[in-house]
């Protein structure tokens, strides 16, 4: 009996082990394709030596994570566009259960609110040359966003300083990209905050890639947690000068590497989106969470969250902490970039005037004035009532930075334009007037025509007899006629 029990236990444990071996991991259950681009050998500006190293390290990491990696280096504009097109073809052929990842290391620029990846042959003489010589980031996002995929991940170590003398008036860093405004299923990460500049680093790799190569190897970490840890690591290594940023519209979980505790578990649809939604908290909520914590511990919490609400709560609670000045700088720039993203998205005279009313001295002010000139002559039909008596409306725009004192920020100018209220057109077809036509009178039947035969003429014999009698009695002159002449002559 005991031997039978042991044998059954052995068989059961063997079956469990076999089932675990046969259970696919996340990487096995999905196709993983990656495009890695490293731009180091720029032709008209100094090289970026770490960009090539970053691309090499990420190629190895992603290959170990189950990705089929296409690596390209030092691409000119046509070559970069061709590489993106070829990669999109591979993703399309792979099917809807595909995770597509693009890693880019090199220079990046924003011109007129648009982000551009910089080919190695770019040689601008003015800002207007960038759309002709660069590669729009939105073209990359839209090309892959149009394909049926499980997830699209973009890692951009492209926020380094602007090395082109002709572009000295352009804004710093990259503009915000709101993934929620596009196709769902995207995750985009910047190596530093929007509007800020990243460091190339003094080591082999940049601070961003160095952190990514370390953190992403940790097993069974959701992608959101991976990039929170990357942000904390980069902030520590750069003494707060560089804070990575990300935006997500993912609708499914993703892990670079599985683990014994959950590598075989299927992804939960919508888990990432629900986690992001549940993590949104107000300033008051953050004040409660941070109350009583040491400044350093509170600092790491708000850096990991990287929201305006978290930063605002920290500077209010820890006004004298050593981390507060750098967080005030981050908060001020984030509010400015959010206002800039709003102004360029609305793209009206009112939106740019509102931006300039609050950020007239920013590095993007010159661009805002130029864009204002482009749109100021547009005709916007306003309702008569709104034009006659405009009422100030408070807009949900981030207040100004409390750098000098925690005073109530000034109310920003409303960037919204009053909606055009169109008069409703009644498209109901007019009713047809029904006119009753009186019936036509019936024509009476035609009179019956009766043809009566004329009576036969009187017998000739009577006339003859009379004529003869008279003619003979009166001299016989009318004996050969009808008798009319003879009768008349007799009267006169």
Q: Which residues contact 317 (CB under 8 A, 6 or more apart)?
A: 287, 290, 291, 298
| Spatial distance between the Cα atoms of 294 and 11, rounded to a whole number of angstroms | 54
Q: What is the pLDDT of residues 477-491, one digit of tens each?
A: 443 444 444 434 444
| Spatial distance between the Cα atoms of 197 and 191, rounded to a whole number of angstroms | 9
Yes or no: say if 134 and 117 are a contact pair by the CB < 8 Å rule.
yes
Q: Which of 328, 397, 401, 338 is nearest to 364 (CA)?
A: 338
Q: What is the pTM of this model?
A: 0.69
Mean pLDDT of 17-28: 43
Q: Which of 469, 356, 459, 339 is nearest to 399 (CA)?
A: 339
Q: Which of 27, 104, 32, 25 is nearest to 69 (CA)?
A: 32
Strand 31-38 versus strand 68-73 pairing type: parallel
Yes or no: say if 40 and 4 are a contact pair by the CB < 8 Å rule.
no
Poorest-pLDDT segment among 72-76, 156-160, 170-174, 379-383: 379-383
Yes or no: say if 45 and 164 are a contact pair by the CB < 8 Å rule.
yes
Which residues sit opposite 35 in a β-bridge? 70, 102
- Helices assigned H by DSSP within 23-70: 26-29, 49-64
Domains and CATH numbers, the chain: 29-259+266-273 (3.40.50.1460), 296-376 (no CATH)
Q: What is the pLDDT of residues 252-295, one digit of tens each?
A: 999 999 854 333 334 433 334 434 444 578 999 999 999 999 99
Which residues sit opposite 34 in a β-bridge? 69, 101
CA distances, 366 to each of 115, 131, 257, 363, 373 (Å):
17, 18, 46, 7, 11
Tokens of 432: 């047809």
Q: What is the pLDDT of residues 156-213, one digit of tens each?
A: 998 777 788 777 777 788 888 888 777 789 999 999 888 888 776 667 789 999 999 9
Classify 447 in phi/psi space as left (phi over 0), alpha (psi -120 to 50) or beta.
Answer: beta
Mean pLDDT of 54-59: 96
């Amino acid at each position: 009996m005991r031997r039978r029990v042991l044998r059954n236990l052995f068989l059961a444990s063997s079956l469990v082990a076999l089932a675990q071996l046969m259970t696919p991991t996340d990487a096995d259950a999905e196709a993983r394709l990656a495009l890695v681009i490293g731009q180091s050998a720029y032709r008209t500006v100094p090289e970026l030596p770490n960009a090539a190293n970053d691309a090499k390290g990420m190629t190895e990491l992603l290959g170990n994570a189950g990705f089929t990696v296409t690596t390209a280096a030092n691409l000119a504009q046509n070559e970069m566009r061709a590489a993106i097109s070829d990669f999109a073809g591979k993703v399309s052929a792979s099917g809807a259960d595909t995770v597509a990842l693009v890693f880019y290391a090199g220079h990046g620029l924003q011109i007129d609110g648009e982000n551009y990846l910089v080919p190695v042959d770019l040689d601008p003489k003015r800002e207007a040359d960038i759309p002709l010589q660069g590669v729009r980031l939105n073209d990359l996002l839209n090309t892959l966003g149009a394909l049926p995929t499980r997830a699209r991940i973009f890692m951009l170590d492209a926020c380094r300083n602007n090395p082109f003398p002709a572009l000295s008036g352009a804004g710093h860093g990259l503009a915000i990209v709101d993934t929620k405004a596009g196709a769902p299923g995207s995750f985009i990460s910047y190596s530093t905050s929007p509007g800020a500049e990243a460091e190339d680093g003094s080591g082999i790799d940049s601070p961003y890639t160095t952190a990514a190569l370390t953190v992403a190897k940790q097993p069974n970490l959701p992608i959101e947690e991976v990039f929170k840890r990357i942000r904390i690591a980069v902030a520590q290594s750069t003494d707060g000068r560089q804070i990575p940023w990300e935006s997500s519209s993912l609708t499914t979980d993703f892990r670079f590497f599985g683990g014994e505790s959950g590598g075989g578990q299927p992804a939960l649809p919508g888990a990432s989106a629900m986690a992001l939604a549940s993590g949104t908290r107000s300033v008051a909520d953050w004040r409660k969470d941070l109350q009583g914590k040491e400044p350093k511990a509170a600092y790491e919490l708000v850096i990991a969250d990287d929201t305006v609400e978290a930063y605002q709560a920290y500077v209010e609670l820890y006004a004298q902490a050593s981390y507060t000045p750098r967080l005030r700088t981050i908060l001020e720039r984030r509010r400015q970039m959010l206002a800039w993203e709003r102004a360029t998205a609305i793209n009206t005279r009112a939106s740019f005037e509102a931006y300039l009313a609050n950020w007239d001295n920013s590095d993007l002010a010159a661009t805002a004035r130029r864009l204002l000139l482009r749109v100021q002559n547009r005709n916007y039909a306003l309702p008569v009532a709104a034009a006659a008596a405009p009422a100030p409306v408070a807009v949900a725009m981030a207040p100004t930075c409390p750098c000098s004192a925690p005073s109530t920020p000034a109310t920003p100018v409303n960037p919204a334009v009053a909606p055009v209220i169109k008069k409703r057109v009644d498209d109901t077809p007019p009713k047809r007037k029904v006119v009753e036509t009186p019936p036509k009178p019936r024509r009476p039947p035609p009179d019956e025509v009766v043809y009566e035969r004329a009576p036969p003429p009187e017998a000739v014999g009577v006339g003859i007899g009379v004529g003869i009698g008279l003619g003979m009695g009166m001299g016989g002159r009318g004996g050969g006629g009808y008798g009319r002449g003879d009768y008349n002559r007799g009267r006169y």
